[in-house]
Amino acid sequence: MSLLKPKLSPEVADALANGGAIVALESTIITHGMPYPANLETALSVEAVVRENGAVPATIAVIDGELRVGLEHDELEKLAQAKGVVKASGRDLAVAMVRGQTAGTTVSATMLLADLAGIEIFATGGVGGVHRGAEQTFDISADLTELGRTKTAVVCAGVKSILDIAKTLEYLETQRVPVIAYGTEDFPAFFTRQSGYKADHRLDTAEEIARAMHHHHQLGTGTGLLIANPIPEEAALTPDFIDGTIADAVREADERGIGRKELTPFLLARINELSKGESLKANIELVRNNARLAAKMAVAYAALKKG
């Protein structure tokens, strides 16, 4: 059976046909990760950062049951304000198509669709991971298993301590996903530049990361790569400020019995409320920072492939 081809925007189709630099972007961050209008402003500003750095942005989503790679301005606007939008990981896409749903795509679904379109680099804020208490709940994000089977390089700012960071790194090791920190030895923790854990590897330039991607795929590993880019110093929050807030949000979710796909959106929204918007500001800056690195990687990778 042949694989589906998502519908490409003209700009993305053109870049793909010409071996241009492209960066995929997810949409659950728009539909479930940030409130309106910050979500729309962020989506537009992240696309602008990708362009400023020489690549074409490809925001991925499901619109009225159609798999889409590359959205127009008015479509982003609609998505940012839409009510009752589905949060789709890879496994939810087929049903969303049948039911004609509109869905924000998680890291897992975005990787899958980017791969079907032929896009190899993807920028986001934070990936899902192994939740705290997973030894009881078994809550491990499908983002991690997707990274173990889909050849996309995902640029993130590490993972939030809403997750069990040590277990997340162990799980990525089992899934054969290299974790490469950019310009540092430390694995970053989203709002902060350090998590207390080291990344597996350190690389210092976008060109080196592009070369590592190339070799990784030449080796037939079949897996993705996780690129951890620490939040810029001036936007970082202090652990004193954010750790307590995160712990409060996690406790509240537990008391209210929130689980499965509702858990991460609940925690993100609660952290934003409890931090009085400080976490949102940091979140926006780190996504822009990741888009910048991803675009530079995409430019270097496109040049490498053209030889």
Which residue in the block uniquely carries the two structure tokens 């949000």?
249
Q: What track of x and - describes contact with ligand PSU for positions 167 through 206 (by CB under 6 A)?
A: ----------------------------------------
Q: 156-169 b/e with 16+ CB inside 10 Å = b? A: bbbbbbbbbbebbb
* By CB under 6 A, residue 38 contacts ligand PSU: no
Which residue in the block uniquely carries the two structure tokens 């925007």?
9
Least CB distance to ligand PSU at residue 264 (A) = 4
d(Cα 140, Cα 46) in Å, to the nearest integer?
A: 28
Catalytic hit among 151, 160, 261, 296: 160
- 26 labelled catalytic: yes
Q: How far apart are the first and last CA of the chain?
A: 32
Residue 70 is given by DSSP the state: S
Q: Give whichever of 106 and 289 is closer to Mn ion, judged by the CB atom.
A: 106
Q: Give whichever of 29 and 293 is closer to ligand PSU, judged by the CB atom.
A: 29
Nearest to 11 by CA among 61, 64, 71, 53: 71
List 180's β-bridge partners, or say none.
201, 227
- The helix (run of H) or strand (run of E) holding residue 62 is strand 56-63
Nearest to 160 by CA among 202, 121, 130: 130
Are 60 and 68 in contact, with CB atoms under 8 Å apart? yes
d(Cα 159, Cα 183) in Å, to the nearest integer?
A: 17
How many CB atoms are located within 10 Å of the residue 81 CB?
14
Least CB distance to ligand PSU at residue 220 (A) = 26
Going by their DSSP bridges, the two strands 103-105 and 121-123 should be labelled as unpaired
User: Of these, 85, 107, 227, 253, which contacts ligand PSU (CB under 6 A)?
Assistant: 107
Q: Which residue is nearest to Mn ion (CB)?
A: 139
Q: 265-284 b/e with 16+ CB inside 10 Å = b? A: bbbbebbbebbeebbbebbb
Within positions 180 to 199, which residues make up the interface with Mn ion, using CB under 5 A?
none
Are 116 and 5 in contact, with CB atoms under 8 Å apart? yes
Least CB distance to ligand PSU at residue 28 (A) = 3
Catalytic hit among 26, 120, 146, 285: 26
Are 126 and 96 in contact, with CB atoms under 8 Å apart? no
Q: What track of x and - describes contact with Mn ion for positions 102 through 141 (by CB under 5 A)?
A: -------------------------------------x--
* By CB under 5 A, residue 146 contacts Mn ion: no
* By CB under 6 A, residue 33 contacts ligand PSU: yes
Instruction: Compute φ and ψ for 219, nearest 5 degrees.
Output: -80, -5
Least CB distance to ligand PSU at residue 33 (A) = 3
User: Of these, 216, 261, 292, 296, which contacts ligand PSU (CB under 6 A)?
Assistant: 261
User: Of these, 101, 264, 275, 279, which contacts ligand PSU (CB under 6 A)?
Assistant: 264
* By CB under 6 A, residue 29 contacts ligand PSU: yes
User: Of these, 57, 70, 126, 158, which contacts ligand PSU (CB under 6 A)?
Assistant: 126
Least CB distance to ligand PSU at residue 30 (A) = 9
Q: Give whichever of 224 and 302 is closer to ligand PSU, judged by the CB atom.
A: 224
Active site residue ranges: 26, 160
Binding residues for ligand PSU, rule: CB under 6 A, are 26, 28-29, 33, 106-107, 125-128, 141-143, 160, 261, 264, 268
